[in-house]
Amino acid sequence: MEQRPKQMGRVLIVAGSDSSGGAGLQADIKTVTMLGQYAATAVTAVTTQSTKGVTDVEAMAPGIVASQMRAVLSDIGADVIKTGMLHDKAVIETVLAVIDDVAFDGDLVVDPVMVATSGSMLLQKDAVASLKTLIAHASLVTPNANEAEVLTGRLINTVDDMIAAANDILDTGAEAVLIKGGHLEGATSTDVLVSAKGECRITSDRIDTTNTHGTGCTLASAVAALLSAGLTLEAAFEKAHTFVHMAIKAAPGFGGGHGPLGHARVRLDID
């Protein structure tokens, strides 16, 4: 009898498009694909973007976002929903309404995208409260240190500050928090994962490069892909960190600003 391939994990990515291909939906799809899983999408916004910055944003109507999600969930289904750029209050509330309405019982990975690597704002200021409501429903939330400061009102300068902020976010209802330390100073960079099970830290030497466009999207999508494949959260965190590190080192060097990662060059065994 012919052996059938192992069932692919299914990740529904709800996020914005990046015309440069370095971040957003494009980075998410590349990441999930290179990790051997299936990526479906619901586009929340279209950005005009290069490695140097974002020059325009066109938000999708909330009804279109909802219909995309429902089309995927009612047919292909999803093991994990991963959110990225949600842009405004109406879209965030729509995403939460769809998740509740279909009684989604998989993992929800929320990457609270607020600011692009270039510094451009990607979330309207009045949407932060709605984002916090979505985070309260998350299996995992993946802010960088700056985003964690906005979510908690806590200044973050050290790894201990990151852990304290993660615990603040856990108290709001999220099941686990992964705070990325790449924005902090120092020769090394530490990411921390905090949940009811405890904490896990990964520290690595900082790579001297400007090719960091889309690192946050890539890490969150890598964790989502690995969770969809059946890995534990801790194992997914460790392998996702390795994937991002390898992708930064494999960056093609495109663009005159913050260049994209080399997703397509990464080969990582997840079994």
Which amino acids are annotated catalytic?
A: 180, 212, 214-217
CB 186 within 8 A of CB 179: no
C-beta neighbour count of 100 within 10 angstroms: 10
184 CB-near residues (< 8 Å, 6+ apart): 145, 156, 157, 158, 190
Q: How far apart are CA 145 and CA 183, in angstroms?
A: 6
Q: What angle do CA 137, 184, 258 make, to 5 degrees?
A: 90
| Alpha-carbon distances of 100 from 19, 61, 80, 96, 263, rounded to whole Å | 31, 19, 14, 6, 33
User: What percent helix, strand, coil does the chain show, rounded to 5?
Assistant: 40, 25, 40
Q: How far apart are CA 13 and CA 46, in angstroms?
A: 14
